[in-house]
Chains A and B, each alone.
Chain A
Amino acid sequence: MPVISMIQLEYGSFPTPRNFNYFWNFGALAMVTLAIMIATGVILSMQYTANTHLAFDSVERIMRDVNYGWLLRYAHSNGASMFFIVTYIHMWRTLYYGSYKSPRELLWMLGVVLFILMMATAFMGYVLPWGQMSFWGATVITNLFSALPLIGEHIVTWLWGGFSVDNPTLNRFFSLHFLLPFLIVGVTFLHVVALHITGSNNPLGIEPKTKKDTIPFHPYYTVKDSVGIVVYFIVFAILVFFMPNYLGHPDNYIPANPLVTPAHIVPEWYFLPFYAILRAVPDKLGGVALMGGALVILFFLPWLDGSPVRSMRFRPIAKWLFLLWTVNFFVLGWVGGKPAEQPYILIAQIGTAYYFAYFLVLLPLLAKFEKPLPLPESIASAVLKRRGGGPLPAGATAKPMEKA
């Protein structure tokens, strides 16, 4: 089995565009986080008890009695936040530099599958400590399915294993929270395979043409990724050691009470933009449909954005509309954490409208009417000229090879 030669081919000599910026670190950072989550998760599951009477206390026991239990628990809970931070930046990079465009559609769609699996996994993991936010988050999210006509109620009863969120629900969420990360590992493998078939995109959004445009992955990008990983660990350590509960919600330190809903129930921060979309619609099925649609629409993005120019660097109008979309995403996240009252509902409605208008109206129109800036001839000519590397040999730029 040619394992060594495969690693040498895919990670050693693998030709990679020479002009990556630090946005290209976040895929590696997500892989590192996945490894941390699985390692801490498996160890935590050795101490956790998935029973409604014992779950909360078993987590407190991990915090107090288990050796380094506090570290493992805080690393796991803040690791989830770090996972979403790096994944959101990873996705933003994809959107800005057009990495979802042909020939990388499959790579992008596998990424969206990973994102949805991540959300499901994080949701079920958050239920396990069986605090107030766990319980009511579980109630609200599983109830989303009851909006479906005809079969909705049956699906909810099936998910719950009863008539409310209770012990059977906790048990199965524990089981699925253990299972799903390994599905994520599998899909990540496919994600990387798809990436290595097309090769990476780069900040210019043009394909490498000659050997001058690429460098071997190792040692150039292994070292660059390592720099990113060190910075990432600094941020992670600050979160875990100095502000371990900053991103959490204090109400989850109250044991679950099925008779009292906390006055300000909010999901984890990384769900807030989608939660805002759900609440923006004054209709149950409509809200659920739009929230699901906000994710499903991502699958169609490569076909909604018909512009042949990948990188927003060369798209003078789309660039600003996309940056506005980015701001809008943060605004949605902000209103998602606010109470469901005016003016927040109106802001959420405007934000939701722009979220969808960008994908459904603006991108298709821009593909027709936007005049892109001139693209550089090749990665090498653009990068080396800027760095003062001197003129290139005439042959390399005058007639770029079609295949290289």
Chain B
Amino acid sequence: MADVLANLPKTSPSGPGPGHVDPAHGEGPVRRDFLKLAAGSFAAVGTVVMAWPFIHSMNPSQDVLALASTEVDLTPIAEGQAVTVMWRGKPVFVRRRTPQEIQEARSVPVSELRDPATDQSRVKAGKEQWLVVLGVCTHLGCVPLGQKPTDARGDYGGWFCPCHGSHYDTAGRIRRGPAPTNLAIPDYSFTSDTRIRVG
């Protein structure tokens, strides 16, 4: 505003005639404001553009993104046993469930669950024995106990997270504790009857 006032004497001193708009009087301040806005936005965009490489450099790099898939041989896994494999730096649980465990998982009314999902939706059709889940508690990322036969498997016979006490059932569904969702199911497929490929 100070510039606007300061500029006034420089504009045409003669009063405009009737019906005539003095271009300098009308445009001068507007043009100066426009220049200020343009310079300001240019600086703002420049700052953001320069900040982005700094921020984005902390996102996963190319070598981290180049992820291999993991193959798992299922033959050595006996009924009621489980193995843990590493995928993307995280454990994947592969469990061969007993008929009783499958029965338990199926008998739960879906409406009772915090994150409703049927047991069928958590396994591949015809392979109900095999439960493949990401072994990462959906609360804050610990590895739940339950893979070793000596582990405490929680009140629902699946997994128990020691960090904050989340209990998962035999379909890896969250039943009690602070975790918000069921154990995630990674993208996997059966390459033969006894092999799966994760990723």
**Is there an interface contact between B60 and A161, defined as CB atoms closer than 8 Å?**
yes
Q: Interface code A283-306, partner B: CB below 8 Å = 1, 0 otherwise?
A: 111010000000000000000000
Residues of B within 8 A of A168 (CB): 60-61, 64
CB distance from A332 to the nearest CB of B (A): 15
**Is there an interface contact between B178 and A283, defined as CB atoms closer than 8 Å?**
yes
Question: Which of chain A's residues 124-147 have a Cβ closer than 8 Å to chain B?
Answer: 136, 139-144, 146
Residues of A within 8 A of B64 (CB): 161-163, 166, 168
**Is there an interface contact between A259 and B84, defined as CB atoms closer than 8 Å?**
yes
Residues of A within 8 A of B127 (CB): none
**Is there an interface contact between B178 and A282, defined as CB atoms closer than 8 Å?**
yes
Q: CA separation between A345 and B165, bound complex, in Å?
A: 10
Q: Interface code B183-198, partner A: CB below 8 Å = 1, 0 otherwise?
A: 0000000000000000
Given known A-B contacts A139-B140, A265-B142, A265-B162, A258 and B89 have beta carbons under 8 A apart: yes
**Is there an interface contact between B163 and A136, defined as CB atoms closer than 8 Å?**
yes
Q: CA separation between A162 and B145, bound complex, in Å?
A: 24
Residues of B within 8 A of A287 (CB): 178
CB distance from B151 to the nearest CB of A (A): 9
Q: Interface code A331-347, partner B: CB below 8 Å = 1, 0 otherwise?
A: 00000000111000100
Q: Which residue of A lies closest to B65 (CB)?
A: A162
Question: Residue B59 contacts which of A157, A259, A339 (CB distance < 8 angstroms)?
Answer: A157
Q: Interface code B144-162, partner A: CB below 8 Å = 1, 0 otherwise?
A: 1100000000000000011
Q: Which residue of A lies closest to B136 (CB)?
A: A164
With an 8 A cutoff between CB atoms, is B78 at the interface? no
Residues of A within 8 A of B90 (CB): 163-164, 258
Question: Which of chain A's residues 302-352 have a Cβ closer than 8 Å to chain B?
Answer: 339-341, 345
**Is there an interface contact between B162 and A166, defined as CB atoms closer than 8 Å?**
no
Question: Residue A172 contacts which of B55, B58, B67, B139 (CB distance < 8 angstroms)?
Answer: B58
**Is there an interface contact between A158 and B59, defined as CB atoms closer than 8 Å?**
yes
**Is there an interface contact between A259 and B91, defined as CB atoms closer than 8 Å?**
yes
With an 8 A cutoff between CB atoms, is A261 at the interface? yes
With an 8 A cutoff between CB atoms, is B141 at the interface? yes
Residues of B within 8 A of A142 (CB): 141
Question: Which of chain B's residues 51-98 have a Cβ closer than 8 Å to chain A?
Answer: 55, 58-61, 64, 67, 84, 86, 88-91
Residues of A within 8 A of B143 (CB): 259-261
Number of contacting residues on A, CB 8 A? Answer: 40
Residues of A within 8 A of B164 (CB): 278-279, 340
**Is there an interface contact between B162 and A263, defined as CB atoms closer than 8 Å?**
yes
With an 8 A cutoff between CB atoms, is B116 at the interface? no
Q: CA separation between A146 and B162, bound complex, in Å?
A: 19
CB distance from A208 to the nearest CB of B (A): 44
**Is there an interface contact between B59 and A163, defined as CB atoms closer than 8 Å?**
no
Q: Interface code B169-180, partner A: CB below 8 Å = 1, 0 otherwise?
A: 000000001111
Residues of A within 8 A of B86 (CB): 258-259
Question: Residue A143 contacts which of B61, B84, B141, B177 (CB distance < 8 angstroms)?
Answer: B141
Known: A161-B61, A164-B90, A168-B61. 12 other contacts (CB 8 A): A146-B141, A158-B55, A161-B58, A164-B88, A168-B64, A258-B91, A259-B143, A261-B144, A265-B163, A284-B178, A340-B164, A345-B165
Residue ranges of A at the interface with B (Cβ–Cβ < 8 Å): 136, 139-144, 146, 157-166, 168, 172, 258-265, 278-279, 281-285, 287, 339-341, 345
A–B pairs, 30, beta carbons within 8 Å:
A139-B142, A140-B140, A142-B141, A143-B140, A146-B141, A157-B59, A157-B60, A158-B59, A159-B58, A160-B60, A161-B59, A161-B64, A162-B64, A163-B67, A164-B90, A165-B89, A172-B58, A258-B86, A259-B91, A259-B135, A260-B143, A265-B162, A279-B164, A283-B180, A284-B139, A284-B180, A287-B178, A340-B165, A341-B165, A345-B165
Across the A-B interface, give the 7 residue pairs with the lowest CB-CB distance, nearest first: A340-B165, A164-B89, A143-B140, A143-B141, A261-B142, A140-B140, A261-B143
